[in-house]
């Protein structure tokens, strides 16, 4: 895995959450979910693509016979603010009737994406729907939405790494950092 002196880190203003902090919180969250979903049919639904790195780590921290699914939505494009319009790009591939669904997301920002997804999944016969997010940016909320599980609350800054992107890049950084504004102002 790349180190923090790797070339890519030169595009960051600062590191906000280190890989060590992430490891610790994801392990704690996995243990919490394991306890909460004991005796339940748990389905983790990862939201592509931002959640994939978090999803892969969280999945391996859950000691249950958990099933997995993925959905994809779009609302951003090459911008650092949401367009407010959420489009379903990839739907579930299986029936979720009677399953306890846990949506796995990278970040709750305006809340529009998860509010749309929760409503959509509630029409599909799930026994319960909850949300686990790596990051929460509460200052920017536009709809009333609270994640059931989260690892870190962060300030209103555009962050990348550990799955989060800017213009599809920086998902491969193992830490979470604030992108240097010159990267998007130069565009």
Own/partner pairs, 71-79, CB within 8 angstroms, 24+ separation: 71/45, 71/46, 71/47, 71/117, 72/47, 72/48, 73/47, 73/113, 73/116, 73/117, 75/112, 75/113, 78/167, 78/187
CA atoms within 13 A on the CB side of 94: 13
> Least Å distance between CB 158 and Mg ion?
11
Q: Which does 112 bind (CB under 5 to 8 A by kind): Mg ion, ligand IMP, none?
A: ligand IMP
Binding of residue 163 to Mg ion (CB under 5 A): no
In this structure, are residues 103 and 114 in contact, taking their beta carbons and an 8 Å threshold?
A: yes
In this structure, are residues 142 and 112 in contact, taking their beta carbons and an 8 Å threshold?
A: yes
Helix, strand or coil, per DSSP, at residue 177: strand
Helix, strand or coil, per DSSP, at residue 85: coil
Kindly identify the residues of this chain, within the stretch 16-45, that bind Mg ion according to CB under 5 A: none
What end-to-end distance do the CA atoms of the chain give, in Å? 29
Residue closer to Mg ion by CB (options 4, 75) is: 75
> Least Å distance between CB 107 and ligand IMP?
5
Which span (8-16, 18-26, 59-67, 111-119) binds ligand IMP, by CB under 6 A? 111-119
Residue closer to ligand IMP by CB (options 89, 127) is: 89
Binding of residue 71 to ligand IMP (CB under 6 A): no
Binding of residue 177 to ligand IMP (CB under 6 A): no
- Position among 46, 50, 161, 177 found at the interface with Mg ion (CB under 5 A): 50
Residue closer to ligand IMP by CB (options 63, 139) is: 139
In this structure, are residues 11 and 170 in contact, taking their beta carbons and an 8 Å threshold?
A: yes
Torsional sign, CA 127, 133, 138, 142: negative
Q: Which x/- pattern over 114-153 shows residues binding Mg ion (rule: CB under 5 A)?
A: ----------------------------------------
List residues near ligand IMP by CB under 6 A. Answer: 50, 75-76, 82, 105-113, 158-160, 164
List residues near Mg ion by CB under 5 A. Answer: 50
């Amino acid at each position: 895995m790349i180190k923090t002196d790797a070339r890519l880190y030169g595009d960051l203003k600062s590191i906000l959450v280190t890989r060590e902090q992430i490891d610790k919180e994801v392990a704690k969250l996995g243990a919490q979910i394991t306890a909460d979903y004991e005796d339940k049919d748990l389905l983790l639904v990862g939201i592509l693509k931002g959640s994939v790195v978090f999803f892969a780590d969280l999945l391996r921290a859950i000691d249950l016979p958990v099933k997995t699914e993925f959905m994809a939505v779009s609302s951003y494009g090459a911008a650092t603010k949401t367009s407010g319009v959420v489009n379903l790009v990839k739907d579930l591939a299986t029936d979720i009737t009677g399953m306890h669904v846990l949506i796995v997301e990278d970040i709750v920002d305006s809340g529009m994406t998860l509010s749309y997804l929760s409503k959509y999944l509630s029409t599909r016969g799930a026994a319960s729907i909850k949300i686990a997010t790596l990051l929460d940016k509460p200052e920017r909320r536009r709809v009333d939405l609270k994640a059931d599980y989260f690892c870190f609350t962060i300030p209103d800054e555009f962050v990348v790494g550990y799955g989060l992107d800017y213009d599809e890049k920086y998902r491969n950084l193992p830490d979470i950092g604030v992108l240097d504004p010159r990267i998007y102002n130069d565009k």
